Every structure is written in C-alpha cells, then in structure tokens.
Chains A and B, each alone.
Chain A
C-alpha cells in the first residue's frame, strides 16, 4: 500500500486540474457511493474512478491498489452474502437449515456493497497520486481556512511514513535474526509476534520526535511502555 501517500509525476489532464476540484471530486464520489444503493449505479461509479485513473495515465501503478481492494471486497462479499436471507434461494449451505443460504437478492446487495467499498477506498489514492501534497495543503489552508498548524502536522506526518516503515522493517529483521518467528506465513501468529515490537517503534517516535531526545532519553516513557506490554 506504499502507493497511498505517493505522488506520481505525470503530465495529464487530471494532474493539471485544480487541487480543490480533485478534492471535491473525491468527496463527491464518496458521497454518491452512499446515496446509491443499486448494483449498476455503484458499478458505474467504480468504473468512473478507474477511468479517471486511466486518464491520469497511472492505471499501471494503481493496479496493486485495485487488486488489494478487490480481494478485500471479495472477503467482505462472502461474509455479507450469507447474512441476507430475503429473496429467492439459490443455494442452501446446510440442507434443511433456512438460516445459511444464498439468495439472489443477497448476491445483488453484497456485490453492490463490494463496489461501494472499492469506490470509497480508491478515490483518495487517485487524489493523492495526482496532486502534490504541498498544493493540497496550500488549498486547505488558503481556500478552506484550515489552520496552518494542522496542515503542517498533516504534511509532516506523511513525510515520515516511509521513515517509520523502514524503521519497522529493521526492527522486524533484527528480531528475526534472534529466531523470532516473524517470517511465519500465518497472519494470526504474525500479528501476535509483532505486538511486543510495537513499543520499539513508539520509542523510536519518541527519539525522532525531538532533536534532544537522545540526550536526556525518556526512561519514564519507555518504562510505561514496558509495563503495558508486560501486562499483555
């Protein structure tokens, strides 16, 4: 998902649009997705987002985003489809039990919800990939009158995402080197084995956060962290 915060430098109509236009576009698309509830409108809306990405000449870079979203939507779909019992039954999972069955209406609604999810999650990456962050911040501050300090915090935090990701990677590798099972394929084990490492990242934030962090240290803060994880 590294693409989410990255600006892709292209020369396209979409890139040249005013940042405010694109901001409103993405909010509008999201709003519409909540207004629509039938399958065809939502599908059309999703493909309009794909079309905009294509116009911005970055379809290739967006493929991983769409792919990820698709699998997420599929998971969501499989879950939804079983919960809707109305409509004509197409398939009953456990014969004799009317609760777990797939109906035509269920398929329709679940598919529509899947599209809605994809629309909501894909319009923002398109905005961020076609608009330079500083342009967006300037617009937020000057046109929408958002206080500068908030806009500054926002832009700075985005700048440090790759740094923290890299730091997290280093920590994971350092623990792997001590036979910690982080390279396990199982998602659940990975999650639980990752937990204690969270605090190293928090420490890191503490250190990077101030220019003076490394001198006086922050033992009290760190201690608290240790206690929290000990209690887990």
Chain B
C-alpha cells in the first residue's frame, strides 16, 4: 500500500530530518511509529499524504508517486488526523464539517449526505449532526475531525498523537474506533508517546531516531529489546519492563505485553517455578 524507497527529506536550508528510509507498509497493517520529540515522526507521516514531498528517494501510495500528485488527490487514499482537532474544524455544524471533504472532491448532494451519515455512524456521532462542533467536548471534536476524514473513504488512516490531551477513557474510545476500522480492512499508522497504547493496539512498531529507522519489527520483539529502545530514550511498557527484570524470563514468563497475558502465565503454571532462577 505504502512503499518508501531511500526517502530523504530536509526542510529548505536545513539539516536532513529524514535520512535514507526504506520500508513498505502492506494493506491492512496496524503500525505504530514511535520516537522522541524531534525524531521526525510527524515529518514522516506528512510524506504519506503529500503534505511534504521527498527531497530524495520516493514515496508511493498505492503505486502513485507522491511527487506527481497533490494532497487533495491523495486525501482519497490517505486520511490524516491531526493532533489538534481544532486545526480542522471551522464549519458551524457537525454535518457540514463531515461533508466538507466530499464536497471538495466534487460529490453530488445525495452522495455527500450518504457519506456524512455513514461516517457519523462509524464514530457514533449521529445524534450530534446538527450541533455546532465548538460546543462538543474535546473527545467529541476529535471524532468530528475523524469522521470528516472517513467521509472521503480513504483506505489508509494516519493519526498523529490521536490521544494527546484527552483523558484515559476518551483515548481508549478513539483507539477502539480505529481498531474497528482496522478490522474492516483499513491500514492504520499512528504516532504516540504512550507505550501502553502501542502494546495494546499495534501489530508492528517502527522506531525512529534522528531521522533514521532504529527498529522495525513486531510489537513484541521491539519491546523485548529494551537496549535499543533506551538508546533513543524510550522505555517499554510496564509489563515487559517488569518481566525483563527476571534473568531467565523467556522460559518462565514468555514475552507478555499485557496484564492479562502475564497473569495467565503466572496462575497457569501454579506460580511456583518462575522464581527459581532469579
């Protein structure tokens, strides 16, 4: 779906922000992009819908070279959710806001209505269609922004820190919505600083550090190589960190990511053997 080859990017008169990245994201993957502030995460995300164009190498979305396309055209393939929903929202009703994208794409009145209703249903906003988005809570505004992307029917969803500034419940609600879309076959790429969230949702993790890929592997393998993570000042979630304090954790605990997994391992094996080698 997304093919990145020797991507290099530098802002005008600046040092390169991304250096020689090559990777591929297949249709239907659930990818987390992690790294410190300033590692180039957002810069990389913006390559996927052509907001930024490579200064070296190529980015192909579904076969289209982003340099030969515009963000407007790519918007039908890649939906980009910004960190702050207020950057997106400016129309007086939720319905208009969701319909703005399809209207830009030149859809007919009926088609716009159909898409608005469909997208609103996907994020649970049907009761609010005639409300002014500014009177909604931050979590709901985030959903409005989200639905306004879904209405353009993109295959790939790109999310830049979707849970920042929201409380735990709102964050989980957004991620559950994203997960449901993923189950319907969407490709998801998200950036976050919350490692617990990564462990809970991502299948694949790409670790960026100073514009380069430090690791690109399954979630489990990334969090069980903490030395590499620590080099870029990231720390695995609590459960993997705890398990790795035991010398021969592999035999005793395996490589759990969640409380449930570790709890099952401990209670399943009778809670006896695992301490013998520590």
Binding site for B on A (CB under 8 A): 167, 170-171, 173-181, 183, 196-197, 199-200, 203-204, 217, 219, 222-223, 226, 230
Contacts and interface: CB of A to CB of B under 8 A. Distances in A.
Contacts of A203: 86
A31 B193 CA distance: 56
B152 A200 contact: no
Given A178-B101, A178-B149, A199 B90 contact: yes
B104 A174 contact: no
A217 B141 CA distance: 14
Contacts of A180: 72, 100, 104
Nearest to A199: B90
A161 B70 CA distance: 28
B51 A177 contact: yes
A177 B86 contact: no
Contacts of B72: 176, 179-181, 183
A219 B135 contact: yes
Contacts of B70: 183
18 contacts: A170-B84, A173-B82, A173-B87, A174-B82, A174-B87, A175-B88, A176-B71, A176-B72, A177-B51, A177-B79, A178-B101, A179-B71, A179-B75, A179-B104, A183-B70, A222-B134, A223-B132, A226-B92
A2 B141 CA distance: 33
A178 B89 CA distance: 11
Contacts of B135: 219
Interface string B20-57: 00000000000000000000000000100101000000
Contacts of A226: 92, 132
A113 B172 CA distance: 63
B80 interface: yes
Given A178-B100, A179-B72, A179-B101, A173 B51 contact: yes
The 9 A-B residue pairs with the shortest CB-CB distance, nearest first, are A179-B104, A177-B80, A174-B87, A178-B101, A176-B71, A179-B72, A179-B75, A174-B88, A174-B82
B163 interface: no
A170 B75 contact: no
Contacts of A174: 80, 82, 87-88
A222 to B, nearest CB: 5
Contacts of A223: 132
Nearest to A193: B104
Given A173-B51, A174-B82, A174-B88, A179 B134 contact: no
B89 to A, nearest CB: 8
Contacts of B89: 200
A197 B86 CA distance: 11
A222 B152 CA distance: 27
B51 A178 contact: no
Contacts of B152: 178-179
Nearest to B97: A178
Contacts of B71: 173, 176-177, 179, 183
A67 B80 CA distance: 36
Interface in B59-88: 70-73, 75-76, 79-80, 82, 84, 86-88
B121 interface: no
A173 B46 contact: yes
Contacts of B132: 219, 223, 226
Given A177-B80, A178-B100, A178-B101, A196 B90 contact: yes
A178 B87 contact: no
A181 B72 CA distance: 7
Contacts of A178: 75, 88, 100-101, 104, 148-149, 152
